[in-house]
Structure 1
Amino acid sequence: MAAHETSDGMPLGIDFGGSGIKGAAVDLTKGDFAGDRVKIKTPRKSTPDAVADVVAELIEKIMKQHPDATGPVGVTVPGVVQHGIVRSAANIDKSWIDVDADEVFTQASGRDVHVMNDADAAGLAEARYGAARDHKRGLVILTTLGTGIGSAFIHDGVLVPNSELGHLEIDGHVAEKRAASSIREEEDLSWEEWGDRLTVYYRTVEKLFTPDLLVVGGGVSRDAEHFLHLIDIRTPIVAAQLQNRAGIIGAALVAQESADS
């Protein structure tokens, strides 16, 4: 039996995003998907019940691929999650606020479900299997540059949840409204112009928290060669390695370790 698996079988990870809900069985010995990723479009009205129905459908589809994937299920949510309860809903339906998402998904799927913030899941996956796997001591901060800016703090390998560094106010602006990848596209910024904004952002982060390593995630991490060298800071900064797989892998990891504890 694999080190992270129990007699209950392989865990599943599911990533709830604005356009799609994606999931896969995860092999935690490899830190990667055990099979193909399955995706279903996010419901137009993404209420808890509507999303829970999609999650239950995803689990059924994944189980057809992997009948042994009977372990716990981790689900990421793009918001603050405190002990399974969603506390913010900047990019999802406002009806999520103060909902016990663990309970909603568990009831809908009949599986043991653990819910967490999407950036936190990605950060844990990068710390365990990806760009930060060799940094066992000190503070690693992952930031996801996408529609907004998500963040994860990993200190000595332990997650400090819900850091929300995209909401820092810098020079009178909310950080993610100036430096997110979506803003670069909307304002048609050159890589150099965006690099200047990222330098301001990351200098603020390092001044406040003095991290040992910064990891840049999100889809734009695939283009790291265009902008990472333009960020002028003291702290070592690297691109995420797991890219868009990180959230699913991290969610499965947390679900399994929660079930084992």
Structure 2
Amino acid sequence: MVKVLGVDIGGTKVRMSVVDEAGNISLDEKLPTQFPLYPYLEEQVLRFMALDPEIEAIGIGTHGFVDPVQGKVIYATETLPGWTGTEVKVQLERATGKHVEVENDANAAALAEAKFGAAKGYGRTVCLTLGTGLGGGIIWDGKLLSGGKHGGAAEVGHMILYPNGVLCTCGREGCSEQYVSGTALVRRIKEAGLPITPHELFIQAKTDPAAQKVVTGFTKDLALVISSLQAAFDMDIVVIGGGVSESAELWWDEFTQHLDTVLLNPLEVKVAQYENEAGILGAALLVLEEIK
């Protein structure tokens, strides 16, 4: 049985798991993200390799713009300070002697949903990850749309939704992720003067007009983002994952009502099957497909 190490790097935690070719997860750990990030990552990878000497390769999904050919982080916001410019592939291959692949984390999640999850069997998929930011991954006829001249392909969170809007971590104003993400929900809740969490927001919206107004703004903006993506890609399906999707049953009906009013054509939209598992499975798939 082929085994690889999958690593999912986010702003607050790093998840590391041994994954086999059937998608089974073992030695699963969630660790707080620490800085400087690269030495910490190398230390943890070497520890995992000692725990399971059968690990054959390492796949890494990370926040930021990534050049997947070089395995280099082209740009990361201050969510991961000091990560911009890190040559992850070269350094980690030197340290471990194993093959390493590096991708944007949302791209990795899209791979997992296309291979194992909600988008299995579809040719053209857009996967949105609603977490700390808004990530995007696009599968086109079975292949990942990735890289780009500056590593920024499918960075849907940085499409401008509202010109001159809320300042984004990328330095521009009005990016989509400032309106459609977990962080955006926290901001919207605070601005509404509500002392509640995002999950509590969706429950409270049933009886509280102020909470309902926040939910309406969020779901309308998510619908607008998907409408714009449809105009560009005319995809078969959209899959929505990330932490915010875990409470989708509380906001899905309102969201689809808004979506129906802005779509050019009918579109299938599903909640991610793997939710927060997609990132780690997708990271593993970056190398599993090559060594099977």
Per the shorter chain, which TM-score range? Answer: 0.7 to 0.9
- Offset, 1:149: 0.4
Residue type matched to 2:77 in 1? A
User: What is the SS of the residue equivalent to 2:56?
Assistant: coil
Q: Which moved more, 1:167-176 or 1:144-153?
A: 167-176
Aligned partners of 1:85, 1:167: CA distance in 2, in Å? Answer: 20
- Aligned residue for 1:98? 85
Q: Deviations over 1:120-142 (max 9, x none)?
A: 1110000000000121x2x2000
Aligned partners of 2:250, 2:186: CA distance in 1, in Å? Answer: 14
Q: Deviations over 1:130-165 (max 9, x none)?
A: 000121x2x200010111100001011110113100
- Aligned residue for 2:220? 196
Query: Could you tell me whether the CA contact under 8 Å between 1:42 and 1:51 is conserved in 2?
Result: no
Query: Could you tell me whether the CA contact under 8 Å between 1:49 and 1:104 is conserved in 2?
Result: no
Count the aligned residue pairs.
Answer: 243
Residue type matched to 1:236 in 2? E
Aligned partners of 1:140, 1:219: CA distance in 2, in Å? Answer: 20
- Offset, 1:91: 4.4
Residue type matched to 2:82 in 1? S
Aligned partners of 1:227, 1:59: CA distance in 2, in Å? Answer: 42
Instruction: Select the residue among 267, 277, 281 that pairs with 1:249.
Output: 281
Aligned partners of 1:36, 1:56: CA distance in 2, in Å? Answer: 14
Aligned partners of 1:109, 1:123: CA distance in 2, in Å? Answer: 27
Residue type matched to 2:111 in 1? L
- Aligned residue for 1:60? 50
Q: Deviations over 1:176-229 (max 9, x none)?
A: 111112211221254333212212222222122211100001012211112222
Residue type matched to 2:113 in 1? E
- Aligned residue for 1:126? 113
1:42 corresponds to 2:74: no
Query: Could you tell me whether the CA contact under 8 Å between 1:13 and 1:26 is conserved in 2?
Result: yes
- Offset, 1:95: 3.1
User: What is the SS of the residue equivalent to 2:278?
Assistant: helix
Aligned partners of 1:40, 1:199: CA distance in 2, in Å? Answer: 33
Please report the RMSD computed on the Cα atoms of aligned residues, expressed in angstroms.
Answer: 1.9
Aligned partners of 1:55, 1:18: CA distance in 2, in Å? Answer: 18
Q: TM-score, normalised by structure 1?
A: 0.85
Aligned partners of 1:244, 1:46: CA distance in 2, in Å? Answer: 25
User: What is the SS of the residue equivalent to 1:116?
Assistant: strand
- Aligned residue for 2:59? 74
1:178 corresponds to 2:179: yes
Aligned partners of 1:59, 1:92: CA distance in 2, in Å? Answer: 27
Aligned partners of 1:167, 1:102: CA distance in 2, in Å? Answer: 25
Instruction: Select the residue among 155, 158, 161 that pairs with 1:167.
Output: 158
Q: What are structure 1's unaligned runs of at least 5 residues?
A: none
- Specify whether residues 150 and 159 from structure 1 end up closer, same or farther in structure 2 by C-alpha distance, changes over 3 A only: same
- Offset, 1:36: 4.2
Aligned partners of 2:33, 2:97: CA distance in 1, in Å? Answer: 21
Aligned partners of 1:156, 1:91: CA distance in 2, in Å? Answer: 34
User: What is the SS of the residue equivalent to 2:55?
Assistant: coil
1:239 corresponds to 2:271: yes
- Offset, 1:111: 2.5
Q: TM-score, normalised by structure 2?
A: 0.77
User: What is the SS of the residue equivalent to 1:132?
Assistant: coil
Q: Which moved more, 1:200-209 or 1:239-248?
A: 200-209
- Specify whether residues 192 and 217 from structure 1 end up closer, same or farther in structure 2 by C-alpha distance, changes over 3 A only: same
Residue type matched to 2:8 in 1? D
The structure with the largest alpha-carbon Rg is 2
Q: Which moved more, 1:91-100 or 1:179-188?
A: 91-100
Residue type matched to 2:16 in 1? G
Query: Could you tell me whether the CA contact under 8 Å between 2:4 and 2:19 is conserved in 1?
Result: yes
- Offset, 1:92: 4.3
- Aligned residue for 2:202? none
Residue type matched to 1:80 in 2? F
